[in-house]
Amino acid sequence: MIEKKMIEKIKNIVITATILTVILSLMLGQIFIKDESISLAERRKLALFPTISFEEIINTKFMSKFEVYLADHFPFREGFRQIKSNFSLSLLHKKELEGIYKVDDHLSKLEFPLNEDQVLIGAKKFNEIYAQYLKGLKVYYAVIPDKNYFLAEQNGYPSMDYMLLKSLLNEHIQNMTEIELFDCLEIDDYYKTDPHWKQDKLEKVLLRLQEKMSFTSTPFSAYDKLIFAPFNGAYIGQSALNIPSEAIMYMIDDIIEKATVFNVEQSETTDVYTPGANTTLDGYSIFLNGAAALEIIENSNSKSGKELIIFRDSFASSLTPLLIGAYDKITLVDLRYMPSDLLNEYITFDEQDVLFLYSTLVLNNSSMLR
């Protein structure tokens, strides 16, 4: 009996000592491990240690900020995130993690339901820009389906009504020619770990645009293909799943290589592809050096006399290089960052082709367009 009590006591001591050791180790790690400024996996800045002030202590803002700081800098945080995600999927049999789900080798993030009011906001914005700047020009619009169009409903996940989205745009957008792209794409034309499409899979898209907009593009067979790797798509970090990285294949020829990209906001000129810059957080930014409010691409080799303006989101970054051979100049406008009432300060609208090119992800949240 005494021996049994002794064994029980030793077991309790060991358990208590183990728990205290773990807690102490984590506390010491929190104190001595150097804070990181960004999370590469989540592609975001991490919280800084909050400023200590009497006012913020009294109104409890300091403690709220401090809790966020501790969570962001918890020792071995990424490892614990991976354990949690794999536990949720494998043992708890959850179908999605923070909206991210997996079908075969593809990760995607749920986007539903269809926000009809948001789609109408987008149509209204397009019409306002046309009325203010684009009368008399050849204007087109095209919608890019997100990955859920190919994955969600077919695998038992909720999905937006894509046909209604297109119908609403068709009914309310005026004075623009629609270019259908849904039938030009399939799921393997997208990265497995990221929402974006693959540049080297856009031949059908390019041919459809060429047919409707009457330009002549460089044949796909004439491009050289280069590799950028490793590429960790946005959904890897967001889901914390241990998924293999991918490679970005990008297309190049003499025209693209000699073209220049001018970022108006930064007053900076770069190459069309920038694999050595700004790719720490997002490898997709090798295309046109990442997100920008206003960019101007000059093709000094072109004598076509044609110019193009693209109102766009990030999907256009990888498509646009394939259009350079057809135009002397391409102007890219991202209305998420540039208010439309400032356009005439930077662009002279005169006989350009105009393309509104947006993904369903943006159109379903059109209030972000300025």
Per-residue model confidence as pLDDT tens digits over 107-151: 999 999 999 999 999 999 999 999 999 999 999 999 999 999 999
pLDDT at residue 156 above 70? yes
Question: Domain limits of the chain?
Answer: 13-103, 113-368
Q: Which amino acid is at 286?
A: I
Residues in the chain: 370
pLDDT band with cut points at 50, 70 and 90 for residue 49: low
User: Which H or E element spans position 81?
Assistant: helix 77-90
Q: What is the rounded CA–CA span in Å between residue 26 and residue 28?
A: 5
Q: What is the pLDDT of residue 176?
A: 97
Distance CA 332, CA 321 (A): 11
pLDDT for position 278 = 60
What is the per-residue pLDDT across 220-239, written as a single tens digit (0 to 9) for each? Answer: 999 999 999 998 888 887 66
* Sign, Cα dihedral of 336, 100, 142, 259: positive
Neighbouring-strand partners of residue 235: none
Distance from CA of residue 288 to its chain's centroid?
Answer: 14
pTM: 0.79
